[in-house]
């Protein structure tokens, strides 16, 4: 039974390893990478009660990188990553492929997100798009101040988010609540994030779009409803009639 439960969390454990490898490749200080690696495992165990049998394995991996990780850290500097997995989702296939050019510092993590999505699909689980969204939300927190990468990830997230059905019976309850619920597992890996798992860009993007659209509708309505000013002879006022120019 314990073996079955461990196997069920293999993808999540491997994702922690992918984030850790990305950290090593980007040379973000070995100690920082190792501490966050252990935090990733701790969050996985804490948020999934069925993952308790995995703890001896994760504890061993955590201790191992602290003792033997130095050589890997040095050898992975500026190393190339060629396993660029892309989720089997036709609508985002091309855009996701572009992420590897736009996000050179997140390639291992992006590949892991895609692989886990396809593993989910192979197991015929329902709504595998949600874990992919959660995974990409966390990746977006760590874009190394790369605006192009951030925009590329947001574009894919919007495509995925707006393709999902609302949660529950309320049409106004956005899918983002389920995204936020699941994103906490790995958000601790990114220690620079002030609000891990909660400061999801979707709040700002979604409500920003709604606000802009609302303002445009109001302005258009006011302009259509306003009467056209006329001159004393009944003709519409033009710049010439309103402000006659008297030559000197």
Given this model, what pLDDT does residue 2 score? 36
Given this model, what pLDDT does residue 177 score? 39
User: Which pLDDT band holds residue 8 (cuts at 50, 70, 90)?
Assistant: low
List CB contacts of 129: < 8 A, sequence separation 6 or more: 89, 117, 160, 163, 164
User: Which pLDDT band holds residue 97 (cuts at 50, 70, 90)?
Assistant: very high
Structural domain includes residue 68: yes
Looking at the structure of the chain, the number of domains it has is 2
Handedness of CA 187, 193, 196, 200 (dihedral sign): negative
Q: Is the pLDDT of residue 9 over 60?
A: yes
Given this model, what pLDDT does residue 126 score? 81
Given this model, what pLDDT does residue 4 score? 38
Q: What is the pLDDT of residues 188-226, one digit of tens each?
A: 444 333 333 333 344 445 445 665 666 666 566 666 665
Q: What whole-number distance in Å separates Cα of residue 76 and Cα of residue 73?
A: 6
Residues 108 and 194 in one domain: yes
Domain stop point among 44, 78, 112? 78
Range of the domain at 19: 1-78
Per DSSP, 243 falls in state S
Domain stop point among 78, 108, 130? 78
Please report the DSSP string for 202-236 in residue order.
HHHHHHHHHHHHHHHHHHHHHHHHSPPPB-TTSPB
Given this model, what pLDDT does residue 191 score? 39
Q: Work out the burial of residue 142: count CB atoms within 10 Å of its CB; fewer than 13 is exposed, 13-18 middle, 19 or more buried.
A: buried
Q: What is the pLDDT of residues 107-145, one digit of tens each?
A: 999 999 999 999 999 988 888 889 999 899 888 776 666
Residues 40 and 142 in one domain: no
Residues 89 and 196 in one domain: yes
Structural domain includes residue 246: no
Structural domain includes residue 234: no
Residues 84 and 74 in one domain: no
Residues 148 and 215 in one domain: yes
Structural domain includes residue 71: yes
Residues 10 and 119 in one domain: no
Residues 65 and 119 in one domain: no
Residues 86 and 50 in one domain: no
Residues 113 and 218 in one domain: yes
Given this model, what pLDDT does residue 98 score? 93
Q: Could you tell me what percent of the chain has a pLDDT over 70?
A: 60
Q: Could you tell me what percent of the chain has a pLDDT over 90?
A: 35
Residues 28 and 93 in one domain: no
Domain stop point among 26, 45, 78? 78
């Amino acid at each position: 039974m314990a073996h079955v439960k461990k196997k069920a969390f293999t993808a999540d454990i491997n994702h922690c390893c992918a984030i850790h490898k990305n950290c090593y490749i980007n040379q973000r200080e070995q100690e920082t990478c190792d501490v966050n690696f252990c935090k990733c495992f701790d969050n996985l165990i804490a948020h999934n009660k069925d993952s308790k049998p995995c703890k001896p394995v994760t504890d061993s991996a955590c201790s191992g990188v602290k003792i033997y990780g130095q050589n890997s850290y040095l050898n992975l500097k500026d190393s190339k990553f060629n396993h660029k997995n892309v989720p089997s989702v036709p609508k985002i296939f091309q855009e996701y492929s572009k992420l590897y050019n736009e996000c050179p510092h997140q390639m291992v993590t992006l590949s892991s997100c895609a692989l886990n999505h396809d593993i989910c699909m192979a197991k015929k689980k329902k709504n595998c798009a949600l874990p992919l969204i959660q995974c990409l939300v966390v990746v977006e927190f760590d874009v190394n101040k790369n605006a192009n990468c951030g925009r590329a990830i947001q574009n894919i997230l919007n495509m995925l988010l707006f393709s999902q059905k609302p949660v529950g019976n309320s049409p106004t309850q956005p899918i983002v609540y389920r995204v936020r619920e699941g994103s906490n597992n790995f958000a601790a890996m990114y220690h620079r994030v002030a609000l891990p798992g909660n400061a999801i860009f979707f709040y700002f993007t979604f409500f920003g779009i709604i606000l802009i659209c609302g303002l445009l509708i109001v302005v258009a309505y006011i302009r259509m409803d306003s009467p056209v000013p006329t001159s004393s002879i009944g003709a519409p006022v033009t710049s010439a009639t309103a402000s006659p120019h008297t030559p000197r």
